[in-house]
Amino acid sequence: GAGVSQSPSNKVTEKGKDVELRCDPISGHTALYWYRQRLGQGLEFLIYFQGNSAPDKSGLPSDRFSAERTGESVSTLTIQRTQQEDSAVYLCASSLVPHEQYFGPGTRLTVT
Amino acid sequence: RKEVEQDPGPFNVPEGATVAFNCTYSNSASQSFFWYRQDCRKEPKLLMSVYSSGNEDGRFTAQLNRASQYISLLIRDSKLSDSATYLCVVKGNTGKLIFGQGTTLQVKP
């Protein structure tokens, strides 16, 4: 079956612009997670959805970051007024059981 | 102190070697532990869960020491295809997974 998909795969944007990253989870997966991975670094948790609610958004680095999920399906991560330190790969994962997360290929964001 | 700590390596080993990675976690109340594998420039994938009694999956053995808050992964008879970054993962209070920085393994011919 189809896995987790993310779009765009690559995004280059100018500092100060807003970007929107999309995640389509595996159909039926109730939980959805967003992570950030900087070059050579580990995964940094951003936010977690159970259904359309976000019980844990503790990892969002600033109020420039927001995320929503609709229809217990697609999720968008929005970064406003992008900064160079936002450059990273943004990974989305979905799961039926919390520990078995299936990751998408990621969106590589470069802020120039 | 990070919630999950790993030696980033890299560990460079010859084919056929046995190699072990360790990981420590800070929250003594943690109940669930896992190892994920991430190939270069790819997404992470679940390798195996870690059970209290220790568990094996082919050439891979995972062990947990709750008293020392320590998790290990042993790989026997290393293959070239084992080259990857191995991520130690602990399930947090809210259900989220907390990933370590990862340990990089390079298996050489």
pLDDT digits (tens, 9 = 90+) for A35-65: 999 988 889 999 999 999 998 898 999 999 9
Residue A12: how many other CB atoms lie within 10 Å: 12
Distance CA A13, CA A84 (A): 10
B44-50 and B97-99 strand pairing:
unpaired
The confidence band for A1, taking pLDDT boundaries of 50, 70 and 90, is: low
Distance CA A77, CA A49 (A): 12
Task: Decide if A34 touches B, using CB distance below 8 A.
Answer: no
pLDDT at A99: 75
CA distance A69 to chain B (A): 17
Q: pLDDT averaged over chain B?
A: 93
| Cβ separation B43–A50 shorter than 8 A | no
Q: pLDDT averaged over chain A?
A: 94
pLDDT tens for each residue of A72-102 = 899 999 999 999 999 999 999 999 887 789 9
CA distance B106 to chain A (A): 15
Residues 6+ apart with CB under 8 A from A92: A4, A6, A21, A23, A25, A32, A33, A34, A35, A75, A77, A103, A104, A106
Distance CA A38, CA A67 (A): 19
| Cβ separation B46–A99 shorter than 8 A | yes
Residue A32 pLDDT > 70, yes or no? yes
Residue A106 pLDDT > 70, yes or no? yes
Q: Which tokens go with B60?
A: 């891979």
pLDDT tens for each residue of B23-53 = 999 988 888 999 999 999 899 999 999 988 8
Residue B95 pLDDT > 80, yes or no? no
Residue A35: its chain B contacts at CB < 8 A?
Answer: 99
Mean pLDDT of B92-106: 88
Percentage with pLDDT > 70 across chain B: 100
Query: CA dihedral in degrees (A54, A88, B42, A2; nearest 10)?
Result: 40
Q: Which residue has the higher pLDDT, B87 or B53?
A: B87
- Substitution target in A99, A100, A102, A108 with the highest count of B β-carbons within 10 Å is A99
pLDDT at B43: 92
Residue A105 pLDDT > 90, yes or no? yes
